[in-house]
Amino acid sequence: MTIAQIIFLIVAAGTLASAVIVVTTPNLVHAALWLVSTLFGVAVVFALLNAGFLAVVQVVVYIGAIAILFIFAVMLTRREQRDFGQQMNRFWWLGALVAVATFAGLAAMLQSWSGLSGAAAADLPIGFDSVGALGDALISPQAFVLPFEVASVLLLAALVGAVYVAFNRK
């Protein structure tokens, strides 16, 4: 077992454990903080896969924006966020069923994927500019320029909408 594999196992175990705590802890702010820990674990996995850009974006977007917004919204609610009621309702088996079915579907899909059974992908050559390649792909007509532009227009529309909603008419 290589060092990278040991690090991966530790990080994966930590990520999964924090993900479980997110749904089991009764304290909402603690749940949000464990969610941060989970997202950070995912970022570390990205970094282990040589996807530095995705790792950093994961931290910026998910921890820096989304998780902080979560915590902010939770803090605006009552001080005592503990829910002393039951954490499960009577449809818990339905949720479990959906979760198991999703896991089975993903597992079946991964079984047929060649990357799982075949040899490990070769390491990227030293000095390979993955960010540059990603940028080229995003604006190249042969690659992803259309989805990229559609997403941009969508975000712009959301931005305009937000400004319109917040606009204070005199």
Partner 1 sequence: MNLWNDPVHVIADWLGGLLGGLGMPPAVATVLLALLGIVILASALMVLDIFLVWVERKVVARFQDRLGPNRVGPYGLIQPFADIIKLIIKEDITPDGADKPVFNLAPLLSLMSVLILWAIIPLAPLVLGVDLNVSLLYLVAAGAIGTLSIIMAGWASNNKYALIGAYRQVAVLVSFEIPMITTLLIPTVLSGSMGLKAITESQGIWYVVLSPLGAFIFLTAAIAELGRTPFDMNEAESEIVAGFHIEYTGMKFGLFYAGELLHAFTFGGFLAILFFGGYRLFGLENLGPAVAAAILLAKAMIGYWVIMWIKYTLMRIRIDHMLTFNWKFLTPLAFTLLMVTALVNALLRDSGTGVYVAGMFFSNVLLGWIALEIARRHARSARDKHERTGPVLETVRRQA
> What residues numbered 36-55 form the site for partner 1, per CB under 8 A?
36, 52-53
Question: Taking CB under 8 A as the rule, does residue 138 contact partner 1?
Answer: no
Question: Taking CB under 8 A as the rule, does residue 143 contact partner 1?
Answer: no
122 by DSSP, 3-state: which? coil
Helix segments in 25-144, DSSP class H: 28-48, 52-57, 68-76, 92-111, 114-117, 130-139
Question: Taking CB under 8 A as the rule, does residue 63 contact partner 1?
Answer: yes
**What spatial distance separates the first Cα and last Cα of the chain, rounded to whole Å?**
67
Question: Taking CB under 8 A as the rule, does residue 29 contact partner 1?
Answer: yes
Tell me how far the alpha carbon of residue 163 is from its chain's centroid. 27
Q: Which of 12, 21, 48, 56 binds partner 1 (CB under 8 A)?
A: 56
Residues 6+ apart with CB under 8 A from 51: 130
Question: Taking CB under 8 A as the rule, does residue 8 contact partner 1?
Answer: no
Q: Which positions lie near partner 1, rule CB under 8 A? A: 2-3, 29-30, 33, 36, 52-53, 56-57, 59-60, 63-65, 67-68, 71-72, 75, 129-132
